[in-house]
Each structure stands twice: as structure tokens, then as C-alpha cells.
Structure 1
């Protein structure tokens, strides 16, 4: 499962794959993409720069110091991270990098460290208000990346940059190419009608068209965090709830997005029993062709391949939300790198963050889209996705007031999806949550 990070896409997003001990946003903005990462099992690992320094001075040899990076990617410690440091030390031979594994829920552990005043030199930013960023982190404006990075404003405050996304995710259809070919589908669908026709061919051929993992709830994030924004053509659409007493209607982004999933269920294009699905098994079923598709972030591509198929059997295309034939998809950030303002080696820490963004290749390993604007992915599936001419809609942070109202109303949007899809009268579901929203909004004085 995924470490709790979008939703928002957009789940954010992100959602952000990210995965998880549970599921959710890694940035506190419901936009983040998710990733599927194992629990921490490895203690802190150190790689000494002296072991890899060369006789000839490398660029950056005037920067020295020892830094620690607190990471949730425990699966990379002793493996990919060691290789990264070897390459990093070719440029910065006098910087020692240690990795500290997050032994519990990353977000919670990071907050504990912040409260104790014992921050590592480099870390991912947990869910805190942007107004608190200057209390803990150093400005990254001097890295010269401001004009090159996506989501520059997500972790900025008072005009200063404090966090840079480690990678981005989009949401789309991850599919088994052989299952498509066996069902007689020769081209990926470009409209909703074509998508439904493809689902019917798959169903007729004895294949479950779309694995929803409905019971687990978190795989539904994109339907309620990402799709409504795209349908409305407004990245900031979720924040419009702040000015409404009835934010959930059948004819706005929420109703239309949830209506798509409801239609798929009613036509028998989801699992036969959507209340008894299994996430880990579904990856194997997609890999084998028993199930044909996921609607999830691109982070799941490598997991499907790892579940028992070849990379050339897995494809990725934008979900056609309507019949316009113009593909649009959400873009959500993953965790954001930050440097502790109290680090004894701020310059070394910043050099490491910049190297991770520009040179490490982490985004390709993790199945992300690069945080640098216009940098083409090396992953075949993302190349296929981008070749459709898809327009990526860069997400925006949720307004703090919207989050506050939602919390007071006990509004669990993926749970609303579950209710909506299964309800005899979906309008009654919206009526219930509109009432809860309006009351919370009034109680808070908004």
C-alpha cells in the first residue's frame, strides 16, 4: 500500500501512486500523486564521500560537509541511493551523504522531528501551512531553478521558494496491450463513447475492463480530486466550494465525474463484486490480462510491470472524459525536497537537492514526470501518453479554508464517491453532503 502523502488529485495528487501504508495526499492539498512504497526496514545508511573522491578535483570540490537525508523511500537505501551518491560525489567529492529511513508514517515522523527541533539537513516537507515554511526551511531561490521547475508556488511563502517537487504524476488509463489486442481493440479510445465501446469488447472477451479497487477507497481519489477539475477546465475548481452552499451538483464537475464511474459500474465494466477487491492482487490481474485497465497515476506503471509482465505490454493513455477528442489530464506533485534552515551544511544540502532534481534520474526510476518543465521522460509509457498531444493541467493548492470546512463537515470525498456510485438516488448523496458543508461553513463563519 501507499505511504500517506492527493488527492487531489486532485488526488493530489496527488494523491501523487507514493505507496502507502494508507492512501492520500502527500502535500496536504489533495492534489498529490501517490506511490506504492514498502514500510521502512532499513536503518540509516552512510556513504562516505572519501570513498569515491578522485585525484582530480571535480566541480563543486570547494563545497564540503556531511548531510543527512530523511527519506520515505526505504526500498532505495543500500541500492539506488548508493549509486546516486557515487555519481553525486563525482561532482561534489567532499560532501558525505547519509540516508535516514523513515521508520513510521513519514508525515508524522517528520512533524515530530520538526517539533523537537532536530531536523535532518534534507527532507520532504510534511503537511504544514506554507506560512510555517520559513520557520524550518532555507530558501531555495539561489539554486537558479525557479524558472525551470513545475509547481513553484506550492511550497512558497512571501515570495520565497522553500520546496521543490521530487517528481510529478498525471492520471490516466494504464492498460494491458495484449488484452486490448485479443479483444480486437486496435487503437486507444479518444472519446468517452469509444472508451465505452472498448470496455464492451473487453467484457465480451471475458476480461474485466477496469479495476477500480472500489472497496479500498483510496484508488478512487482521482475520480473526485482530479477529474472534476479537468471537466470544469479549472485547476482551482475545488476552491470554488468556498463561495457555495451547494458545491455538489449533478451538472458540475463533481456530478459529471462521479457519473462516469457510476456508468461504468452500471454497465458491468468494473469488478464483478466491487466490495471485495484486493489492491495487491489487482496488480497481478492487470499484468496477466485478467483485468485490462486501471485509472490511476503513472506511478503504478512500474508496479504492474513488476507484478508479472513485460514493459512493452503496458501502455498509458489519457482517460477521455467526454466526446471532444481533446485529451486533458491533471498534473500533480509528489513530495517536495527541502533544506533545514538550521543545517550546519546548508550549501552542501542545497547542492544535493539540486543534483537530485537535475541529474539523478530519480523521476524515471520512480515512474514520475520530471519536475523540470519540458524535460522528456525516458519511460515508454509516458512517451506514449505525451504523444497523444494531451494538455497537462497543473494543479493548485487547496485553500486552507476549504480544507477547514471539509474537516469540520467530516467530508471524506472518496467515501462520497462510494456512496454516489452505489446509491439508488445519487442526488440524495449530494443533498446530504451539501447540507453538512453548508452547516460547517456557517459554523466557521465563512
Structure 2
């Protein structure tokens, strides 16, 4: 499952493609579950402070608009069975988003037809109070990661459904077959491992270059950890030339360019296929991905065992010290106009604390006191990697990027294939500077 959580522009550009890559298998029909113990009644509209009773004191009927169409009729049914054991008087219906979730949510917002529970689309934080209720009364703020990302005027309106980091997801048997006995800890060691895999007839790294969105980690995560600056994406506001060979962008792009030049990516990077690549990594035809931890369970589901899939941080230089970006996925929110706000808040809190969704989706739990049960994430953390939590998005940067029609994954494609990569940086710097000037920034 994808997701990735970077600054707002990342969501605007790539969200639709990411959602389609989640392996949507639902039919879009509404699913609802109750235990039949009572008939739910509509809750009040008084602001919905979360109650702390045994669950029987909260009732209502709520709808959750979800991007996970593949879970409807499956995992969500199991979740609701357990949810209704605690909240027998709350009826939950799932509405599946079959299109671009971000755009569909915005259409619903414009028409004042929001579901009770949903994920927050890309809107300015200043607009959050117009559409959503504060969630501070859930008592989770002190235990939440990224609690300030969807906050305004001292109130929290969104809570992360799960977090991701980026790294190398790899087939352990492919490594063993190529004679790789230790996880690479430097860039030179990583290149040496790639060469061994290539000599063994194994494609070292599946880039899915053609699909563009799989390049997100190279342009959103890697630059800021190379710079060791969580706010590096927002720092573009302070310059007319944000893309240079010697900063995080140029260094990150140069790494994937080198992998392609050495023949360590797919033979024809312009004809890659995302769904097939998961099967190829699972079978060992391809050895690695550089993606978020969300892909781990998808590789396992594509035809291998959990103990054959590993995860380690990409060693982007030869220092031996490695950082990796920590980013949020979608943020749960409760509609301001919900007729059952208490029930909606109870559902959000239960999803975060009790559902097990983070483990199912391959996420790092958003609650600080919860540890992932995934062996791959434990392996990742055991390397001593420093997880770097990002900063809230700067809307000025997003507006300039939109004005310049800046598409960072497309920039990466151009950079990797260009005879003169500097000319690619020059092109996008020019577009950035013009848009920045036009907007008076």
C-alpha cells in the first residue's frame, strides 16, 4: 500500500497514481456491519466530545470514505466485528473511492457532502476548521507523531493513519544466490552488491521508471536526508536555483543516474510494469526496490514468504552514517457536519489504537508507544538508522511549484536520461524562478 507523505505538492502530483497501485480489488459497494444487539440512533450535533465509557453510551450511524477498496468485504468486516464488540450501538458504512481520492474529497467538500470520517485532502491548514472537528479531545495528541501537520490555531484536526520510511526492500534468496552475505552499509558496498547481482543474471533494482511515481523517494525523501535538513523541501522558497548538482536534489538524482548507467536497473526502463515488478521481486528475478515500507506486504502477497523479504536503509554515501525519512500517510478527520460526531471520533480512535491497520498496511505505527510487529521494520531499525521526521508543508512553496508546473518525478526521469543533466536542472530552475517572481515571492 502506498502512500507516501511528503509536502503537499507530492500529494497533488502523485496521489492518484499511488492509489491505483494499491491493488484495488473492491467493487465499490458499501459495506456495513453491526452485531444486531440494538438499532443505532443518530448522535447529536453538539461538537462530539469523545466519551470514555464502556462504549454502550455512544450510538450513531457513520460513513467512512476510504481509498482502500481492496479491504472492503475483507479486513474491514473483521475490523467492524471487533469494533462493535466495544461499540455495539455504532453502525459503520464504508464508501469506496474508485477515483482520485484527493479530487473526489474536494468535490465532496465543495458540495458540502462530506462523510463522517475521511482522509484530509490537500487543502491549506487554515481551511481545516471550515470542514472538520478538532480531535484534541481524543487524548492522543501527546502520543501522536506528526500531530502538528494537520493543525491550525492550536487545534489538531487530523491524525496520521500510519507512517512510512524509505529504504531497500530486498529478496534474501536473491542476495544469497549472488553471494551477498552482509547488508551494504556504504554506497560503494551497495554498488558492489548490485554488480554481484547483475553478474548472477538478477536485475539489481526495480525502478519502475516509466510509471514515474515509484521515483518519489528519490526526489522527496532522499534529498532532505542527504542534506540532513527536515525542512529542505521548504528551503526552495529562499532561492531562485533550488536544483543544483551539489545539493540534496542533484546528489540524489545522480545516484539513480549512476545505477542506470551501470546497468543496475531494468534493461528497458521505459517499459516497466508496476504490478509485474512485485512478482519479479517476490520470485527473485529482481532483487530490490527503493520504496517505502508499505510495499513489503505487497511483495509477500505477490508470491513469497515473509522471511524471504528484508528491509535496510539505502546507504547514499560512504560515511557509514545513514538517515531515512519518516513521513505520514493519510490523516483521519471527522466532518464538522457529522450527525454522529461522538461515534465518528470513537471510530477514529479505535482505528488508531486497536484495529491493527498499521501492521496490515505495512506502516510504522503513528502512535509513539506502539511498535510494529513486522520483522522487516525491526531489521531496519536494528541497523541504527536515524529516522528523520519531516516538517509541515509551506503553502508558498506548493503554490510556486504549482505555478511552475514542477513535477519532481518527471524531473528525475529527464535527469537520468539526459546527455547533459545540468541542462535539466537549469530548465527547472528557470521555471521555478519565473513562477516565484510572478507570485511575488
TM-score (norm 2): 0.92
Cα displacement (A) at 1:120:
1.3
1:113 to 105, 108, 116: 108
Alignment correspondent of 1:31: none
1:92 match? 87
Instruction: Specify which of 168, 173, 198 is matched with residue 193 of structure 2.
Output: 198
* 1:234 counterpart SS class: coil
Return closer, same or farther for 1:36/1:415 CA change in 2, 3 Å cut-off: same
The reply on whether 1:43 has 2:41 as its aligned counterpart is no
1:2-13 correspondence to structure 2 within 5 Å: 6=4, 8=6
Q: Who is 2:49 aligned against?
A: none
| Correspondence 1:261 to 2:248 | no
Pair 1:15–1:356, CA change in 2 (3 A): farther
Could you tell me which residue of structure 2 aligns to residue 415 of structure 1?
410
Q: Is the 8 A contact 1:49 1:95 kept in 2?
A: no
Q: SS of 2:366's equivalent?
A: coil
**What secondary structure does 1:265 align onto?**
helix
Match of 1:22 in 2: 17
Q: For structure 1, which segment, 354-363 or 400-409, has the greater mean C-alpha deviation from structure 2 after superposition?
A: 400-409
Following TM superposition, by how much is the alpha carbon of 1:410 offset from its aligned partner in structure 2, in angstroms?
Answer: 1.5
**Contact residue 208 and residue 290 of structure 1 kept, 8 A:** yes
Cα RMSD after superposing both structures? 2.1
Higher relative contact order (CA closer than 8 Å, sequence separation 6+): 2
Q: Does 1:401 align with 2:411?
A: no
Pair 1:443-2:438 in alignment: yes
Deviation at 1:11, TM superposition (A): 9.1
- Asked if 1 retains the 8 angstrom alpha-carbon contact of 2:190 and 2:315, the reply is yes
Equivalent residues of 1:40, 1:104 under 8 A apart? no
Return the offset for 1:42: 2.9
Gaps of 5+ in 1: 25-33
Query: 2:346 maps to what in 1?
Result: 351
Q: Is 1:131 paired with 2:117?
A: no
Choose from 167, 178, 187 the match for 1:172: 167
DSSP-derived class of the 1:188 partner: coil
Distance 1:14 1:91, change over 3 A: farther
Contact 1:6/1:14 (CA < 8 Å) preserved in 2?
no
What is the aligned partner in structure 2 of residue 182 from structure 1? Answer: 177
Q: Is the contact between residue 66 and residue 96 of structure 1 (CA under 8 Å) also seen in structure 2?
A: yes
TM-score w.r.t. length of structure 1: 0.91
Shift of 1:294: 0.4
Q: Separation in 2 of the partners of 1:138 and 1:93?
A: 24
Contiguous gaps of at least 5 residues in structure 2? 40-52
The SS at the match of 1:147 is helix
